Structure 1
Amino acid sequence: MTAEQRMSMDSSTVLAFDLGAGSGRALVGQLAAGPDGADVLRVKEIRRFANEAVRIGDHLHWDMLRLFQEVKAGIRQAFREGYRPATLGIDTWGVDFGLLDAGGELLGNPYHYRDPQTEGLIGEVIALVGKEELFRQGGLQFMPFNTVYQLYAMRKAGSPKLDAAETLLLTPDLLLYWLTGVKICEFTMATTTQLYHPEEQRWNVELMRRLGIPERIFLPPVPPGTRAGRLRPSVCEELDVPALEAVAVGTHDTESAVAAVPAQEEAFAYIVCGTWSLLGTELKRPLLTAETMELEFSNEGGVGGTYQLLKNIMGLWILQECKREWDEREGAAAYPELVEAARRAEPFRSLIDPDDTRFYAPADMIATIRDYCGQTGQPVPQTRGEIVRCVLESLALRYRQALEQAERLTGQRFSGLHMVGGGIQNELLCQFAADASGRPVWAGPVEASAIGNMLVQLIAAGKCRDLREGRRLVARSFPVKTYEPSNKADWNAAYARYLKLRGSRA
């Protein structure tokens, strides 16, 4: 990079890539003076692209090469629109990875976390290690997509890729490597693998050896904000851009989103709302108690030396699949129309347990919802409005249960609930969350993962002092809508029905 190009880059401008399970976005963030003279963060989306799984034979894969092309196109677009970002960061979903050989080449197409290869393996690993020990050493919910089960599945299948692998790179680290040529493992993503020991702050090599997973492929984790190298000369030449620097942000999109929660209180509860709903609270240390395990909470590494005690809830995936099926069978259905139909539908007619495993990856989501309601002695929802209302009310009641469980685990009482992420555009869900929990919900910002990504870049550049200051910046830069609870008696009655349906207690 020439001296002239370096001078033209603006350290107050950053480029964030936020890749979710269904789509990706490239966004530019710029610090600017607000009405009172204090800095605010201006964000503009410059590119959006689909992220679709690819089925090959019996396996489901990510189209990583196309995603890399989209990231490069986003970099080119930023400069074509006249921006001069000094840094870029990438955050993605957790757990998935690519394997590189000794020459740095990708060994096969990375598997999608909904690939069926891990079916039944949680029980096998627990039988080998012990449930309590596995939780104490990994700190995560026992979810079939966790990296440990994917690698164990490959070992059981005799995959030659494991023997040939030199390095494992989790999804955002793989994209950064292709951009810069630098191999790193960022901390927040490392903690999604169930192979990182949260208490001892190291890879769990003993577990790797026990499961036949090669320990040599894991790099030492680096903290969020680590500088991860400049764009390769070949990338700069291809895109006709200067060698801007990559920053390993909180590369797990959940942790980037939590970094952007505009909470001013020390103890707060949040929901990162999208394909998945992640409900939790921020702690200084992981909470690895037996009760945490029994209530199925995870401990994931966060930005700024924090840990997130959180619950993975199935989220809007259920509604997204219903919409996809309606689109294919009956013609396109816009989300606002579906939500309005739900608003008009009869309240509390039918409920589901969103975390029932039958909703994880069914062949027919609408039929699965109807079967569940019929098998549990409830009215079977028929119309779109009835189905959508069933999903949204059930999610809100699940939020209440998880919120109360988080309070029990931490000894905290949360005055309300922060909701961030794309799911907050569903205003009916936000209102239901307030109604079900009996507390206000503060919704915003929508692009939380990208904004948290930007905050870490700005902290790395010295433009923002720390995470606390970053959250103040978010609070004065983006609107937050408050939803007040209502219909307390009706929601309490529905909650009692819901708990009986789950066969559990609050």
Structure 2
Amino acid sequence: MNKKVIAVDIGASSGKMAFGEFDGSQLLVREYRDFANRPVDIGTALYWDVFSLHNAIVDGMAYFKEKYGEADAVAVDTWGASYGLLDKKGRLMEPVYHYRDERTRTTIQDMNSVMNTYELFRLTGCQCNRTYTLPQLYSYRAENSAVLYNASSMLLLPDLLGYFLTGVKTTEMTIAGTSCLMENRQENWSIEVARRFGIPEKLYTEIVEPRTFKGNLRQEIQIQTGMKNTRLVATVGHDSAAAVAAIPDFGENKLYISIGTNVSMGVERSECLLSREGYLKGFKNTGGIDRKKIIYRDFSACWHLNEFIRTRKEQGITYSFVDLINMALEVKNPVPWFDVEVLSFNEAGGDFCRKMNQYFAQTGQRELTEDGEFVRSIYESIVLKIRHYAEALKELGIIYGRINIINGAVRNSLLMQMISNALGKEVYAGMEYATLTGNLLTQLYAMGEVKTVKEMRSLSAECFSMKQYGPEEQEYWTETAEKYERIIK
């Protein structure tokens, strides 16, 4: 009998669900279903609307049940670090804060009085910034809030949404790795970090590995969805790690580049990277499936294109992503570049084109007036930052062969070709829904339909194709990279 599985993947701006069916040899995704993820700004705080997300999941499950029948399993992955605090009766104590909420703006500086960033990196493997769970929890202390101490437990977002479905309170291992609250091997909670920062240890729940069955759906959920025998699986809860789990024939000595709103790029290894050189180059560690370690760097990517589109829309001009590609293709003259990690470019609002020109002026580059040139500059700046960190991995002695590019941006053939050009290597691009696929495959792993991660990735290779791009314009990109590195120093 075919196995039926439902994957839920929630990103910062939208969520997706997929209904997959496995016949013993092929995984067929029968349908994808989208839903919105709209943060709630009440003026004094910025929250995630987790109740809307919960309802979207339940509605999606009911829709799939009506169309395809009952699923054997369902699993949820999300972005990292967001959490909910529960009281002793299991009730959510407050709305779930958005990681960009203003309460953490100065928290990292406050934390430095307790522990410097390098010591924290050595203890946790994380390059902690204000979006991680630890500074969000530490901000309660700065506000003298009793919420933290009155809470009975904490669940990170995939586990919180799973708790709403089942009533089970456990924490999946890879999503816990996004908290900056784990030991550096990304396998157990850090008691030392909790004690040093005054975080109550009672908040920690049991850690479970990906492919663990969490439990059955609550009776109310069974009634709402029509699914009586569906079980919740702890998939690879961290969306980036879920995508890596799905890459065809992936493993050590291979590079992944996942591109959407942000870029996550790195390698999979058996051990974490904890050297000072790795720390200084900004690399982080997070857990992967089967206790593998992912050494990675992340930074904003299509966020900048979204901000350009927003800016022009506010000025009465509407562009699609296809328009942007065509505009960039028409640009023949060299464009200036900017550092996509500069704070001003990562703060929402304002005139994005003006921000770009201000940076160009400050770095001695020419300012732009044509929209096509702005777009071309954004593309090249993203690509050059990818090259920057690809070279940084080599400088750390981490050698890789095959380069895999995954997730939504693989639809953009111009961007894929530019990345191949800049890296001077062949790249393989595909799996625009890699995160959802990793979620589905992990459920099959939990059910014993595939026996190993290697089998998971072999199945992925059989079911999903990757397009090859070869490097072109090598002289231009070599010269461009040299100029770019001088500019961003």
* Structure 2 counterpart SS, 1:304: helix
Structure 2 CA distance, aligned partners of 1:476 and 1:246? 26
Between the aligned partners of 2:335 and 2:227, the Cα distance in structure 1 is 57
Q: Which residue of 1 aligns with 2:11?
A: 20
Measured against aligned partners, the alpha-carbon deviations of 1:272-299 in whole angstroms (never above 9, x if no partner) come to: 1111100100011111111111011010
SS of equivalent residue, structure 2 residue 214 = strand
Aligned residues: 488
Counterpart contact for 2:251–2:268, Cα < 8 Å: no
The one of 19, 29, 35 aligned to 2:20: 29
Partner of 2:130: 144
- What per-residue deviation string (whole Å, max 9, x for no partner) do you get for residues 207-261 of structure 1? 2222222111111211101111111001111223323000010011001000011
* Structure 1 residue 392 corresponds to structure 2 residue 391: no
Aligned twin of 2:286: 300
Structure 1 residue 463 and structure 2 residue 454: aligned? no
What corresponds to 2:364 in structure 1?
Answer: 377
Query: Any gaps of 5 or more consecutive residues in structure 2?
Result: none
2:173–2:186 Cα contact (<8 Å) kept: no
Which residue identity lines up with residue 105 of structure 1 in the other structure? R
Q: 2:62 and 2:317 mapped to 1: Cα distance?
A: 36
Question: Any conservation in 2 of the 1:296–1:311 contact (CA below 8 Å)?
Answer: yes
Asked if 1 retains the 8 angstrom alpha-carbon contact of 2:132 and 2:180, the reply is: yes
Name the counterpart of 1:436. Answer: 422
Runs (5+) with no aligned partner, structure 1: 1-9, 34-38
Counterpart code for 1:345: V
SS at match of 2:77: strand
Change over 3 Å in CA distance of 1:106–1:377 after alignment to 2:
same
Preserved contact between residue 7 and residue 440 of structure 2 (Cα < 8 Å): yes
Query: Aligned-pair distance for 1:265?
Result: 5.5
Is structure 2 residue 255 aligned with structure 1 residue 269? yes
Q: Which of residues 480, 484, 495 is equivalent to 2:481?
A: 495
Show the 5 A alignment for 1:56-455.
Answer: 56-199=42-185, 201-264=187-250, 266-364=252-350, 365-409=352-396, 411-455=397-441
Task: Note the alpha carbon deviations across 1:76-114, whole angstroms, 9 max, x for none.
Answer: 011111233200011100011111111111111111112
Q: Look up the equivalent residue of 1:96 and give its one-letter code.
A: S
Q: Distance in 1 between matches of 2:191 and 2:269?
A: 26
Q: Distance in 2 between matches of 1:304 and 1:152?
A: 31
Q: 1:377 to 1:200 in 2, by over 3 A?
A: closer
TM-score of the two chains, using structure 1 as the length reference: 0.93
Is the contact made by 2:254 and 2:403 (CA closer than 8 Å) also made in structure 1? yes
Contact 2:253 2:401 (C-alpha < 8 Å) held by counterparts: no
After superposition, the C-alpha distances for 1:385-433 in whole angstroms (9 at most, x for unaligned) are: 2111111101111111111112232x34323420111121122211111
RMSD of the TM alignment (CA)? 1.6
Instruction: Report Cα offsets for 1:423-459 as digits up to 9, x if no partner.
Output: 2112221111111111111101110000000111000
Q: Is the 8 A contact 1:139 1:198 kept in 2?
A: yes
- The 1:264–1:90 alpha-carbon spacing in structure 2 relative to 1, beyond 3 Å, is closer
CA distance in 2, matches of 1:309, 1:402: 12
Once residues 332 and 420 of structure 1 are traced to their aligned partners in structure 2, the CA distance between those partners, rounded to angstroms, is 27
1:11 Cα deviation from its structure 2 partner:
5.7
Letter in 2 for 1:378: Q
Q: Scaled by the length of structure 2, what TM-score is found?
A: 0.96
Residues 11 and 291 of structure 1: is their aligned pair in 2 closer, same or farther, counting only changes over 3 Å? farther
SS at match of 1:330: coil
Residue 331 of structure 1, CA deviation: 4.1
Identity in percent: 33
1:130-149 CA distances to partner (integer Å, 9 max, x unpaired)?
A: 23211111111232211111
Structure 2 counterpart of 1:21, which letter?
A: A
